[in-house]
Amino acid sequence: MAVERPEPGTFLALLSDDDRDALLALGGVRRFAAGEHLMHEGEPGDRVLFLLRGHVKASSTDSRGRETVLAFRGPGDILGELTFTDVSRRAGDVIAMAPVEARALAASEFCAFLLRQPTAALTLIEAISRRVRDADSKRVQFGDLDTVGRVAARLVELCERSGERTDGAIAIALPVTQADLAGWSGSSSGAVDGALRTMRELGWITTERRRITVTDLDALERRTYDARERNRR
């Protein structure tokens, strides 16, 4: 089963056609219902998953039960890439946000594939490096932003990853909740609610239950940039 529109910059999108075809001939397809765990925090990293369809949320929960959203992943992404070499424990949960299809490989099978296909191993390094650079950039950026700026930055990212243009606006395909945005932006639910209300009043977004449509992407990008520049002065 082929991947459906791999998102730009994902592992499967970066692979050559030959390497991608060879990889997707291995393992087996797994299907997960919305809300189902693909991976559990603390379990051994003895398998790797490649997302074919749907989106997932990666998160970690602290001792007080507070969830931190680490990332959202979509078609083309690899899951378990940091634990398969030594079968170490998972650092977080991965939960399907909608019905998901993924190809699952045992860690040993994926290792053998990378030994046979050294160009795929180099592509994996590139994909991981992109994630690390992006995470570092976001940490620096978020240090200079207020809540409105942080939420605006996350919405811009969601538009880039899963936005669907319609009637001059961009509908975010992921069913992201207010709690998800709070855990992802390092803010409280109340602060995120206030930020979204401000954006609605300014005409930058519209919201429905578990759906956000961006009506002025330029304004969100400017808000992210302007807040960062003000805080640097």
SS3 per residue for the chain: CCCCCCCCCCHHHHCCHHHHHHHHCCCEEEEECCCCEEECCCCECCEEEEEEECCEEEEEECCCCCEEEEEEECCCCEECCCCCCCCCECCCEEEECCCEEEEEEEHHHHHHHHHHCHHHHHHHHHHHHHHHHHHHHHHHHHCCCCHHHHHHHHHHHHHHHHEEEECCEEEECCCCCHHHHHHHHCCCHHHHHHHHHHHHHCCCEEEECCEEEECCHHHHHHHHHHHHHHHHC
Q: Is the model more confident about 53 or about 175? A: 53
Q: 148 and 119, same structural domain?
A: no
Q: Is the model more confident about 61 or about 17? A: 17
Q: Is the model more confident about 102 or about 90? A: 102
Q: 24 and 129, same structural domain?
A: yes
Q: Mean pLDDT throughout 29-40?
A: 96
Q: Is the model more confident about 199 or about 84? A: 199
Q: 46 and 147, same structural domain?
A: no
Look up the CATH number of the domain holding residue 215.
1.10.10.10
* pLDDT at position 132: 87
Look up the CATH number of the domain holding residue 33.
2.60.120.10
Domain region containing 16? 11-136
Q: 20 and 94, same structural domain?
A: yes
Q: 49 and 27, same structural domain?
A: yes
Residue 4 within a domain? no
* pLDDT at position 127: 94
Q: Which of 99, 118, 136 is the last residue of a domain?
A: 136
Residue 6 within a domain? no
The reply to whether the predicted model has a pTM over 0.85 is no
Residue 204 within a domain? yes
Considering only 24-38, 85-99, 203-217, which range has the smallest mean pLDDT?
85-99
* Structural domain total, the chain: 2
Q: 151 and 40, same structural domain?
A: no
Q: Mean pLDDT throughout 93-111?
A: 95
Q: 123 and 21, same structural domain?
A: yes
pLDDT in tens, 148-194: 999 999 999 899 888 889 888 999 988 888 889 998 888 889 999 99
20 pLDDT band (50/70/90 cuts)? very high
Q: Which of 136, 151, 177 is the last residue of a domain?
A: 136
- Position 88 pLDDT exceeds 50: yes
Q: What is the mean pLDDT of the chain?
A: 88
* pLDDT at position 1: 56
Q: 76 and 17, same structural domain?
A: yes
Q: 108 and 216, same structural domain?
A: no
Residue 1 within a domain? no
* pLDDT at position 133: 87
Q: 58 and 18, same structural domain?
A: yes
What is the percentage of the chain residues whose pLDDT exceeds 70? 93
